[in-house]
Structure 1
Amino acid sequence: MPQPKWYHKSLSELCMDSIVDNMEKWTASRSLVHVSTPFYLLSSHCLEYIIQCLKEGGRLNEDMFDLLINPHLKVLDLSINAFVSTENDDDMETNLRIVRLASVRCSQLTTLKFFSFNKLPSPTQVEETFTPILQLFEHLQILDLSNTIYGASCMLYLGSTCKPKIRELIVDFCPGVTDLVMQIFCNSQSSLHKLSVLSTKVTHAGIIFAIKHLPELKELTSSPDILKVFFRICKETRESKKYSLTKFSMRTMIQTQRNIVPYKKGSVSLMVDMCPSLVDLFIDVNGGEGFTNEELLGFRELKLIKSLVIVTSFMPSISIRGGVIPLLQVHGPTLEKLSLSMEVTSEEVYLIIECCPNIRRLRLEIERSYLETPEPMLDCVHSSFRYSKEVIPLRMLEEIILFSADSSSPFAISRKLLLLLLFSPSLTLISICNCITLDDQIIEEACTRNSFKYLTKLKLTLCSNVSQKGIDFFMNETNPLAGITLRVCGNVNLEHMKTMAQEKHWNLR
């Protein structure tokens, strides 16, 4: 059952909730010493919690920062839609005032996220406004300037002064960020771990320079094809140098303004050889015949994979049985996240469960079929791929997302398999879309076996066989549900649930 707002909360959390509820009153009296002094004593954790709650409620405004910015604050998020601007004010000017205030009060700030897309001042104004403020944040490690005009000037400043030493820089969609800017920045920021330059003027040359001059770089996000970048590095250096990247995103076919660049055979082997520390893989199989099961299996040579996301087009060049399952047989035991946007059958889901006993986040596109049980699938090549009847629930599974590729075509899944997934004791999120198998009886059996003591979010969409009776089984005292989303399900009385939530003071959205 959704818990009361105060259930299982510490005294500290209850106090912070009280501050949030009365923030407008405290802000109006912020000039009084007995009001402002307690705020100056709050830790960064408390301040971040209060700011986040005010954001979610759409109540955060500039005046509140007078109280919420103190010497303990370590994270300042002024990204898009972060707060409510005052009437007839300009977001950029408002943000600048808040950053100036933070530069005076927050000497321990480690994270700054900024947004100022409203207008474009001259380069001189940029240099005179935001850029010089950076030197006052001596401990700054994470800087996000996405969609702002400050990206290039700040990179030049950080490259020329060497202070502060940034660990993460995000300058997506920032005008003026070029290869030259990248070079100046990299020469003095060699300890950078994460860099994102999407939709900037940085070319292959700039990305190559970054890879070569940032020895601790683990995550790199850019518009240029990263595979082509490593091919050029290999061709230019002609030496087997290893790089520290841990996160890799690839598309099997790149469409440029001039032509379509297909996947080049051997690219995976090259990446694995040059970046043996990869743990997070995102693969967009968007056409082309070059990326085959054999190429996908090149990732088996990696030491450790924790996250695997595969997105496919209408006619994928890889298969579940020929590519994905063999890869999971090698890396499944260490895998924590698996997301497959390619249709899988019930039997193949069993195989995935067997391969990935420690999975935490599982997102699967189930084959559009009306079979109630998985049929035996004979495969002369992969005849060993048969699921065991001894499959046990995934004890580490926290998030399960099941969906159909087409909203007009629901999916059916083995009832035993669906129950097996719902029996997972650590679930925090259940999201099922367009499933005709899920019904009140399955929910009743799942709730009888599983207390769902960690479940906070339940999302059911287009599940026509689920009624109010099924939803009521989740309304028990053992689960801490904080969010229920029901769209186009069976006979579910949403107004009744809203009224019940208000009467019982549930912390329900």
Structure 2
Amino acid sequence: MPRVKRVESLFEISIDFITENMDTFCKEISTLGEVDAVSLEGSTNVFNLLPSCFIEEIIKVLGEKGYLKKQFLEYLITPRLRTLDFSTMCVRNEISDLLRLAANRCPELKTLMLFHPTYFLDNEDYLNFIPNFTELQVLNISYSRAGDICLGILGSHCKKLRELYAEHSSVTDSGLQELLIFGQCKSISTLDLDWTKVTMTGIQMALDNLPSLRVLHHQSTVECLVKIHQASSHQELDIIPKYKLSMLAIRSPFKSGSLRIAVSFCPLLTNVDIRMPKELTDVDLLSLLVLETLCDLKIFGHRDGNITFPGGVRPLLNSLGNSLKSLELSLFRDVNIPVVTGSCPNIISLNLLNNLNYINPWQDGQNFFKSDEILMNLEALNLKGRIPSLHLFLLLFSPSLVCVRLNDCDTLTDEILMMISIIHRFHNLEHFEISNCNFVTEKGIDVFMQDSNALKNVELKWCDKVTRKNICDWKKKANEKNWQLSISAQLSF
């Protein structure tokens, strides 16, 4: 059943009490006269005694409640703090003072998110504080317009850096040279340079100077690997370099034949993400057949593209499906869902989004499927677009489902939900979300309002036959039964 609201843990009770009384705590501390102490010994700031995980949870909950203020953060930025995320806190003109506090108080800071989704955090004064964070392992400076200066400082002072995120920033090859060649950051394993001014020269610099590099985001990575191959061929090298990249993204522009070359340089790939290169062919796609450890595959097709499901995707799944844990297919024609389910028995996450049509492999009139076509381990299902009823039934038949999202799916009906509920009662389902599913009514959603599942969240968006009264009735029932269940809706009228 939707879980009965449990008794809160001591940790949760403490967090709730502190966040509800932050004004009182801060006033009491301020009356003792100490705000800026760095040392734990003799400090009157009680938050100095709390571990980082506790402080981070207080900051998170304050943000969720809309209570987060600069004056609170002045006390919560303590010597024990390990993570400071400015992407979810503060207004723009408060960052400098808080970062100065962190530079003085947090010598052990490991993670710093120095970006914000709604405005630039690119004040060069901020960079003056970075040398203090010598233990820094994760840094995000996305959208910064002072990227190269920052990379030079990192190279000189932050040799323990492991992850650097700088997408949409002003970083160039010169900045990478300061970071990797003249600097000390040799242990970076994740480097995000998407949509920066870095060229193929900078990409090769990263590949050649970061032996631990596993994840490299840049729109020209494949093109760079082809260039390296051409140089190796011209120099007639006996040993072709191999890289330890585990993730490869393929974007436009793309030249047919490039994927085979890129894969030959990166035999350890486990994650491949293909987005909209019209030039990619079935032959290119089959270059992935050598990747025996591939576990995460995303292919965002093209309406006028050359990749097909029968000629490219199907043989790939037939060969590598056993190793796949996550699969996403978008904008394909003639998608065969039983081939997907039969070839990928171990898949945990499946996304089928806006595919142009699905074919029926079953005989006319057949209304059943084989047991080996059921995805027994599927936990996350995300579907968008019209999917044949029997195919939808097959996917929802998966007994391990934890999260289901269905959008624009007019084959989803009350009858399908009721039949599935009889079979496995959605007993593992925690999150159920449907949008623009206009043949589902109160009767269908009622199957989740029973004492038989683990449901925590229900989201209903623009479903024509779901009414405001339905929502009120479900919320009333959840409250009466003391269920730990959130029900939200956006109605069509």
> Shared fold by TM > 0.5?
yes
AA partner of residue 314 (structure 2)? I
* Equivalent of residue 177 in structure 2, options 178, 183, 198: 183
* Equivalent of residue 413 in structure 1, options 370, 373, 388: 388
User: Are the equivalent residues in 1 in contact too, given 2:329–2:352 (CA < 8 A)?
Assistant: yes
Change (3 A) 1:72 1:444: farther
Distance in structure 2 (CA, Å) of the matches to 1:329 and 1:8: 48
Deviations 1:156-203 (A, max 9, x none): 1122x253421111122223x221111121122121111112332222
Map of 2:161 onto structure 1: 166
Distance in structure 2 (CA, Å) of the matches to 1:49 and 1:452: 31
* Equivalent of residue 83 in structure 1, options 85, 89, 100: 89
Map of 1:306 onto structure 2: 295
Distance in structure 2 (CA, Å) of the matches to 1:205 and 1:308: 28
Change (3 A) 1:157 1:498: same
User: Are the equivalent residues in 2 in contact too, given 1:58–1:84 (CA < 8 A)?
Assistant: no
Distance in structure 2 (CA, Å) of the matches to 1:322 and 1:370: 15
Distance in structure 1 (CA, Å) of the matches to 2:9 and 2:144: 39
Change (3 A) 1:446 1:63: farther
Deviation at 1:375, TM superposition (A): 4.3
Deviations 1:211-245 (A, max 9, x none): 1121211111224x222211211222333110111
Distance in structure 1 (CA, Å) of the matches to 2:225 and 2:284: 17
What SS does the corresponding residue of 2:393 show, helix, strand or coil?
helix
Map of 1:457 onto structure 2: 431
Map of 1:141 onto structure 2: 137
* Equivalent of residue 230 in structure 1, options 225, 230, 238: 225
Map of 2:342 onto structure 1: 354
The correspondence of residues 332-351 of structure 1 with structure 2, limited to 5 A, is 332-343=321-332, 348-351=336-339
User: Are the equivalent residues in 1 in contact too, given 2:334–2:358 (CA < 8 A)?
Assistant: no
Deviation at 1:61, TM superposition (A): 2.2
Change (3 A) 1:68 1:266: same
User: Are the equivalent residues in 1 in contact too, given 2:333–2:358 (CA < 8 A)?
Assistant: no
User: Are the equivalent residues in 1 in contact too, given 2:420–2:426 (CA < 8 A)?
Assistant: no
The correspondence of residues 364-379 of structure 1 with structure 2, limited to 5 A, is 364-365=352-353, 375-376=362-363
TM-score, normalization: structure 2?
Answer: 0.85
Map of 2:40 onto structure 1: none
Map of 2:417 onto structure 1: 443
User: C-alpha root-mean-square deviation of aligned residues, in Å?
Assistant: 2.9
Map of 1:394 onto structure 2: 375
Greater CA deviation, 446-455 or 465-474?
Answer: 446-455
Change (3 A) 1:494 1:48: same
What SS does the corresponding residue of 1:264 show, helix, strand or coil?
coil
Map of 1:243 onto structure 2: 243
AA partner of residue 424 (structure 2)? N
The correspondence of residues 243-282 of structure 1 with structure 2, limited to 5 A, is 243-251=243-251, 253-254=252-253, 263-282=254-273
Deviation at 1:26, TM superposition (A): 3.8
Distance in structure 2 (CA, Å) of the matches to 1:7 and 1:249: 43
AA partner of residue 129 (structure 2)? I
What SS does the corresponding residue of 2:299 show, helix, strand or coil?
strand
Distance in structure 1 (CA, Å) of the matches to 2:395 and 2:294: 23
AA partner of residue 440 (structure 2)? V
Give the count of matched residue pairs: 462
Deviation at 1:358, TM superposition (A): 1.3
Distance in structure 1 (CA, Å) of the matches to 2:227 and 2:334: 40
Change (3 A) 1:16 1:276: same
Distance in structure 2 (CA, Å) of the matches to 1:389 and 1:338: 21
- The alignment status of 1:422 with 2:396, answered yes or no, reads yes
Map of 1:19 onto structure 2: 18
Q: In percent, how many aligned pairs have the same letter?
A: 31
The correspondence of residues 112-123 of structure 1 with structure 2, limited to 5 A, is 112-115=112-115, 117=119, 121=123
The correspondence of residues 65-84 of structure 1 with structure 2, limited to 5 A, is 65-79=73-87, 82-84=88-90
Gaps of 5+ in 1: 86-90, 255-262, 378-386, 405-410
Distance in structure 2 (CA, Å) of the matches to 1:109 and 1:453: 42
Map of 1:380 onto structure 2: none
User: Are the equivalent residues in 2 in contact too, given 1:103–1:137 (CA < 8 A)?
Assistant: yes
Map of 1:107 onto structure 2: 107
Deviation at 1:118, TM superposition (A): 5.1
Distance in structure 2 (CA, Å) of the matches to 1:476 and 1:22: 37
Deviation at 1:138, TM superposition (A): 2.6
AA partner of residue 31 (structure 1)? S
Change (3 A) 1:106 1:152: same
Map of 1:407 onto structure 2: none
Distance in structure 1 (CA, Å) of the matches to 2:108 and 2:430: 33
Map of 2:61 onto structure 1: 53
Deviations 1:48-73 (A, max 9, x none): 33322333343322222134322332
User: Are the equivalent residues in 2 in contact too, given 1:134–1:164 (CA < 8 A)?
Assistant: no
* Equivalent of residue 317 in structure 1, options 306, 315, 328: 306
Change (3 A) 1:64 1:374: farther
User: Are the equivalent residues in 2 in contact too, given 1:241–1:274 (CA < 8 A)?
Assistant: yes
AA partner of residue 357 (structure 1)? P
Distance in structure 2 (CA, Å) of the matches to 1:455 and 1:305: 27
